[in-house]
Chain A
Amino acid sequence: MLKSNVFSKKTRNNKIKKEVREVYLRDDIWCGVSSCTTCDSPAASAAARLTASTILVVDTNVVLHQIDLLENPAIDDVVVLSVVLDEVKNKNLSVYNRIRALCSNSLRKFYVFANKFHKDTHVEKMEKESPNDLNDRAIRVATQWYQKHLGDATRVLLVTNDRENKRKATEEGIFAETIESYVKSLGQPDLLDLVVQPASVDVNMEDIEDSRPSKRKVIYEEHKPMSEITSGLRHGIYHQGKLRVNRYNPFEAYVGSESIGDEIIIYGRTNMNRAFDGDIVAVELLPQEQWHEEKSLSIADEEEEEEDVHLAPSSADDAPRSTTPVNAADQIPVPSRPSGRVVGIIKRNWHSYCGSLEPMPMPAGSGSIAYALFVSKDRRIPKIRIQTRQLGNLLNKRIVVTVDSWDRQSRYPFGHYVRVIGDIGDRDTESEMVLIENDIDARPFTAQVLACLPPLPWSVSSEDLANPIRLDLRQIRVFSVDPPGCKDIDDALHCTALPNGNYEVGVHIADVTNFVHPGSPLDDEASKRGTSVYLVERRIDMLPKPLTEDICSLRADVERLAFSVIWEMTPEAEIISTRFSKSVIKSCAALSYVEAQARMDDSRLMDPLTTDLRNMNSLAKVMRQRRIERGALTLASAEVKFQIDTETHDPLDIGMYQIREANQMIEEFMLAANVSVAAQILKIFPVCSLLRRHPSPTREMFEPLLLTAAAVGINLDVSSSKALADSLDCAVGDDPYFNKMIRILATRCMTQAVYFCSGDLSPPEFHHYGLAAPLYTHFTSPIRRYADVFVHRLLAASLGIFQLPTIFQDRPQLTSVADNLNYRHRNAQMAGRASVELHTLIYFRKRPTDTEARIVKIRSNGFIVFVPKFGIEGPVYLTSKGQKGGGEWYVDEQQQKIVKMDSSLSYSVLQTLRIHMEVVEPQPNRPKLQLTLI
């Protein structure tokens, strides 16, 4: 390996500082073309990827803007230069990750050529040459080298959209083309849709603007230059924050700003000034007299946007954002929150969106270029204008679109089509939409991942039995209780009476870490997926099926490996001692909740298993009671269950999920196991444990609940979880469902529990509010949650039977794992909810229903009702859309009532009423559920 050195000097403008870095130029960087005879060494032929007679060299802007095109399998044999990669990395990390993924994908022919370090293609900066020009020159030099290296048999084509670069390339005798002309030469018209149109004005743009003169005027204000924004931020004129668009009203957005310690509301698209949800923006406050009143109290304003029927939210994270209630004592509404407008966008959060095209008449002559408006499924995203040559094909399809630009003259951003998902209304298509929207990877596991699995059929080996760290518990009567039809059984229990009158209680969790080794492809994949996702009709596994349903599943009558927590408990459920150990178990029965409950209830049954169940149940009751006394909340959410037709996968029936004593019994022991494990791992690893916490809600978060409760004459004390639990117990109305209703509303006020690394927070913050536990973690479901896999490793290391993986020594990485788990967990929940919503729609499509509903929120032109039977929530309008404003109705804020002007009719919060549910199609292919008052 010959090594020559050339020194290059770089100046980095941090605080003007000269840095000298060495560059070692090499002659062992291969060209990656399989037919090349010059580069012949085993290493070179192993790396060779490119086979075609035409190879492409792409420049930075092509990668940055046309990544969707490059990802299309029609484009192949591409050389990606290392200068291009570096520049892409600096400009857009997500594009960088995508191009890297392409380069490492063995099915694609993308080759990375490290031109910077090759002795013939290294270029040095010339006098007065800008970095951009230097890079362009480096690209041209590399292209030229390729052409010379490969000779005339292969055509090397430089793809660039930069006119100047193309001109120079042609002068230097390099074949150069723009991306459009290259794609055109391929003769695949649908590929052209993927090509991003350059932002500069082209002929087509002029055409469409002429035809609609109204669009020519400037709609949005110019974004301030970056320098002005930075200085404005420093002087406190502008405020920086992440823009979050109201999920229920896309014309309203919030920017949480640290500098004023409050959220700034932004009303209307003009004030939002082309910002998308998730963008980091700079906001300027409007003068106080322009601060809007509580306009958001009305549902469905501007344009055709209106609220949909959706699944009842289960926590504050899912719920629509509440506005601070107007102080009703003052007659003049006080503009309570600052309003602002966006002056600049600091960081874009553009990615691809899925949805469909707005219905439009087919233009004459197929195959010509047409413009269409794309409507995203995510209501927070504005419509996106795209250009397409296959309009007829796309009109009734769900498609994926990305945003390219948004200039001041156009009402909607410009984007381009990426791919088709499927037909609108098709259940599989809609399900896939749910997955894409929530960033869930539902692809089958790769061969490398599957290679990590032990060979099937698998059984406990004699080595496992002989292993001194494994306790042999095969003689013990272990059983599992799960929902009916559960195949991934990750927990089993036992309960034996001891001679001294105490009980030995064991919780046995599938020993997943025995098969998933840290750092293996299987582990990486599981860590990326984070959790299994449960949709109504399918399950997307975190681990491959052989593991989840066979090797790890603690099924009845087979020997399985487990990780056990074993307590000795007094009959009063006091824990005397706790042991943790890896074990071998043989479950004697896999019961369903119904079966377990039936056994316990049937007084004739006296077999040992039933006795165990009863003993456990009595212990669980004591534990539960004690937990509630400590202040654990009994919360409620409206979980629904579908009965699915096994043939067509259509929903047959929906109903609320029923919770039995047996469920609570299992839950109680799982909680206890998690708490015990949390204490153990935190004791041994105080700074690198993975725990779960539930932040205490603030008083403001309870505000909507308190208002509602006050309206129905109930006083809730929210000062602590204990106080809340007690006052919830006292909140009994005249009908049985009233209490549950209040609990559902209370649950919605809270945020979700999150995973965190114990070193990142101080011990008082570890508290789990909902469970009233100082410490909590997840240990009991390693088959379907990666957090539990992590905790298994920690627990094993704390017992000294397993080496702690190196990742635990790297705190930032640990934090990022916890963040990813939270993200995945949340997405999985959102996907689950979206799937239920989808199936609700399918269910009601054929079955218009009359049912009972309760008012949960009063709006100026109607109210929001909750349908307990189906767990859905949606608006009921008192005034039809045409006649706007509460001419007939007015809202009594304090009483939470909506009253007709002549006082003949009124509706108050939590009132029960009957409604009619029906699926209507206001626009073709856009079905929605409509609720009307009977």
Chain B
Amino acid sequence: MEFVSPEGLRLDGRRPTEMRQLRAEIGVVSKADGSAMFEMGNTKVIAAVYGPREVQNRGQQTNNDHALVRCEYSMANFSTGDRVRKPKGDRRSIEISLVIRQTMEACIMTHLMPRSQIDIFVQVLQADGGTRSACINAATLALSDAGIPMCDLVTSCSAGYLNSTPLLDLNYIEDSAGGADVTVGILPTLDKVTLLQMDAKLSTNIFEDVMQLATEGCKAIANYIREVNPFILIAVYIWPSLKTF
């Protein structure tokens, strides 16, 4: 199938290196300590953060010096066209929960909050490819809304390789085309990679191009997130003084 026309336009009218429309809002769940809604085109997710609070189940705490980060990912039954009941705790959501938790742990300064726990709930309201990235972006915004200290933002974006062209931010049709799908998460200020996933195979030089493109996407998302919640900057600014710990 032709995913990029010879004129250089994708099926939805984007060019290969263009992202979908981004939209975000913070404080969408008033009961939570921090929350955010994040949209990438037709993909729409909501994230709510509770904490830092007392550890509810002490059995889960393995390290007393650090805060416990928990994450739960779920998809709303209505998020895809066919309204199927999405069982909680299937393999896919467990895996994504784990991915999000590990990614967020990399930026949350857990050592500042010993003996406490932080819960991140993310739910997909509408799925159109790239849910994993959207969840991470939403979680970052929600954490910042909750005022949880972070060493940097984490932003994530995916890129793929179809019709011999690297494509940024795949939507559902492009995602299910069977080509490679590279999801990258970065700490934009520190310029570090915290998440890198790929299914399917790519040769190394092509992979580097695709990853480069995804990284650019992450940086663009970071700029957007800073616009939405300028307070995040505080956490980043205090980083040099924290180095001494």
Contact = CB atoms under 8 A, between A and B. Distances in A.
Interface in A86-116: 100, 103-104, 112, 114, 116
A24 interface: yes
A112 B7 contact: yes
Contacts of B9: 114, 117
Nearest to B171: A22
B5 A82 contact: yes
Nearest to A104: B6
A104 B6 CA distance: 8
Contacts of B7: 82, 112, 114
A462 interface: no
A104 B15 CA distance: 19
Contacts of B14: 24
Contact of A20 (B6, B20, B42, B202): B42
A389 interface: no
Nearest to B202: A806
B13 interface: yes
Contacts of B128: 20, 22
Nearest to B14: A24
A25 B13 contact: yes
Contacts of A20: 42, 128
A829 B81 CA distance: 53
Contacts of B206: 806
Contacts of B42: 7, 20-22
Nearest to B19: A3
Contacts of B5: 82, 112, 114
A116 B13 contact: yes
A112 B82 contact: no
B21 A3 contact: yes
Q: Which of B5, B13, B42, B202 has the most CB of A within 10 A?
A: B13
A100 B2 CA distance: 12
Nearest to A20: B42
B12 interface: yes
Given A3-B18, A17-B81, A23-B12, A112 B203 contact: no
Interface string B4-32: 01110101111100101100000000000
A56 B206 CA distance: 41
Contacts of B173: 21
B13 A17 contact: no
Contact of B203 (A5, A19, A21, A803): A803
Contacts, number: 55
B13 A117 contact: yes
Interface size class of chain B, counting residues whose CB lies under 8 Å from the partner chain: 20 to 34
A706 B82 CA distance: 61
Nearest to A47: B7
A809 B13 contact: no
Contacts of B114: none
A474 interface: no
Nearest to B201: A809
B41 interface: yes
A806 B18 contact: no
B13 A112 contact: no
A17 B12 contact: no
B12 A21 contact: yes
A18 B81 CA distance: 6
A5 B6 contact: no
Nearest to A806: B203
A22 B41 contact: yes
A388 B218 CA distance: 64
A1 interface: yes
A806 B180 CA distance: 12
Contacts of A112: 5-7
A5 B7 CA distance: 20
Interface residues of A, number: 25
B22 to A, nearest CB: 11
Given A17-B82, A23-B12, A1 B18 contact: yes
A22 B81 contact: no
Interface in B87-111: none
A114 B81 CA distance: 28
A216 interface: no
Contacts of B201: 809
Contacts of A806: 202-203, 206
Contacts of B202: 806
Contacts of B203: 803, 806
Contacts of B18: 1, 3, 24
A380 interface: no
B6 A100 contact: yes
A5 B41 CA distance: 9
Contact of A22 (B6, B12, B15, B82): B12
Interface in A397-420: none
Contacts of A26: 13
B208 to A, nearest CB: 14
A103 B6 contact: yes
Given A5-B21, A112-B6, A803-B203, A19 B13 contact: no
A116 B7 CA distance: 12
Nearest to B203: A806
Interface in A12-67: 17-26
A22 B15 CA distance: 13
A7 B44 CA distance: 15
A106 to B, nearest CB: 13
Contacts of A18: 81
B81 A24 contact: no
A563 to B, nearest CB: 22
Q: Which of B7, B171, B202, B203 has the most CB of A within 10 A?
A: B7
A634 B21 CA distance: 69
B6 A24 contact: no
Interface string A791-812: 0000000000001001001000
A19 B81 CA distance: 7
Contacts of B6: 100, 103-104, 112
Nearest to A122: B13
Nearest to B161: A806
B201 to A, nearest CB: 5
A809 B179 CA distance: 11
A87 to B, nearest CB: 14
Interface in B149-179: 171, 173
Contacts of A116: 13
A23 B13 contact: yes
Interface string B166-204: 000001010000000000000000000000000001110
A19 B82 CA distance: 10
Contacts of B12: 21-24
A82 B12 CA distance: 13
Contacts of B21: 3, 5, 22, 24
A169 B223 CA distance: 48
Nearest to B10: A24
A1 B42 CA distance: 21
Interface in B187-245: 201-203, 206
A809 B20 CA distance: 30
Q: Which of B9, B11, B201, B206 has the most CB of A within 10 A?
A: B9
Contacts of A24: 12-14, 18, 20-21
A496 to B, nearest CB: 40
Nearest to B41: A22
A24 B16 CA distance: 13
Contacts of B13: 22-26, 114, 116-117
B114 to A, nearest CB: 45
A46 to B, nearest CB: 12
| Those 6 A-B pairs whose CB atoms lie nearest each other, nearest first | A117-B13, A24-B13, A22-B12, A5-B21, A24-B14, A809-B201
Interface of A: 1, 3, 5, 7, 17-26, 82, 100, 103-104, 112, 114, 116-117, 803, 806, 809
28 contacts: A1-B18, A7-B42, A17-B81, A17-B82, A18-B81, A20-B128, A21-B11, A21-B12, A21-B42, A21-B171, A22-B20, A22-B21, A22-B41, A22-B128, A23-B13, A24-B12, A24-B18, A24-B20, A25-B13, A26-B13, A82-B7, A104-B6, A112-B5, A112-B7, A114-B9, A114-B13, A116-B13, A806-B206
